[in-house]
Chain A
């Protein structure tokens, strides 16, 4: 039996079908597209038509062909994409976990590298000096600035990412940038909301000390988050380039 190979037009049709089912991340579509094309080719070699083969693959991923169960209403691979929704959900959860793990690994690297450790200790010393030099109000402003800059950086990076990927999204880069800036935003919000309440519970000295500790922790996570982001961005930029050259 002669081995069937799909045409470029048929592959584009499958890619569009995935986009129709909201598989918006190009780095997820790479794997799904290859699996669907390979399986469709095998089924067509066994004698199925392109449409029937694609229907079988569609169901294999946990999608349905009918809009409603046990009814004859609509019958198409474009009707239901629940299987792909589940796929994206599981991939998102695991990708987030993977990037958090990378950040903690990077933190370990900071503490095992003399260069990084010196830089980190210098930062702690600088913040400590600023705490001594300025009064509580000014120190809080410095604190706010050092916590706000990651947000500005993340916004800039997002713009850069979309341009590099021709405005298509990558799940890996999305989570890498999210974890480098936005997760820490939660800590930042808590500290922006609480200063007045906190000041009434603690003495000025204790309060600025808490700010100092929070600032140093946030800086450490942000710094490591950006290292992870840069590595991820470069890796996927290369992959996207490969994809464009096909």
Chain B
């Protein structure tokens, strides 16, 4: 749990990856999906999630759709065409980062 700061730099990539696997998702759903996939290891706070979503939207990587759910409106996020392309780039960058870290920390395994 103490390594939340290490995940911080990869938050946008995590969001993009989730959205590439799901057609559209809303904020709370993203936090729960990440929590479930990491078995509670990574908990995205609302204070970190929304600035990341807003940044991705402003960059044109995400599009927004609003639908009525129960007696309120729900904002769904989905990847744009450039968002789909960018996801591939960012995942490749993350993979490269993990490999570099592996070389540094555990050269024998790398």
Contact = CB atoms under 8 A, between A and B. Distances in A.
Interface size class of B (residues with CB under 8 A): 20 to 34
A31 B72 contact: no
Interface in A97-123: 97-98, 101
Interface stretch (A82-90, A146-154, A192-200, A207-215): A82-90
Contacts of B7: none
B68 A246 contact: yes
Interface string B53-65: 0110110100000
Interface string B11-39: 00000000000000011100000000000
Interface in A9-50: 11, 30-31, 33-35, 37-39
A8 interface: yes
Interface string A217-246: 000000000000000000000010011001
Interface in B44-90: 45-47, 50-51, 54-55, 57-58, 60, 66, 68-75
Interface residues of A, number: 28
Interface residues of B: mostly helix, strand, loop or mixed? mixed
A230 B28 CA distance: 31
Contact of A62 (B47, B54, B69, B74): B47
Residue of B50, B74, B75 ringed by the most chain A CB atoms within 10 A = B50
Contacts of A37: 72
A201 B50 CA distance: 51
B75 A31 contact: yes
Given A62-B45, A87-B50, A35 B71 contact: no
Interface of A: 5, 8, 11, 30-31, 33-35, 37-39, 60-62, 83, 86-87, 90-91, 94-95, 97-98, 101, 239, 242-243, 246
29 contacts: A5-B70, A8-B71, A11-B72, A30-B73, A31-B27, A34-B27, A34-B72, A34-B74, A34-B75, A35-B28, A35-B46, A37-B72, A39-B28, A60-B45, A61-B45, A61-B46, A62-B47, A83-B46, A87-B47, A91-B50, A94-B51, A94-B54, A94-B57, A94-B58, A95-B58, A98-B57, A98-B60, A242-B68, A246-B71
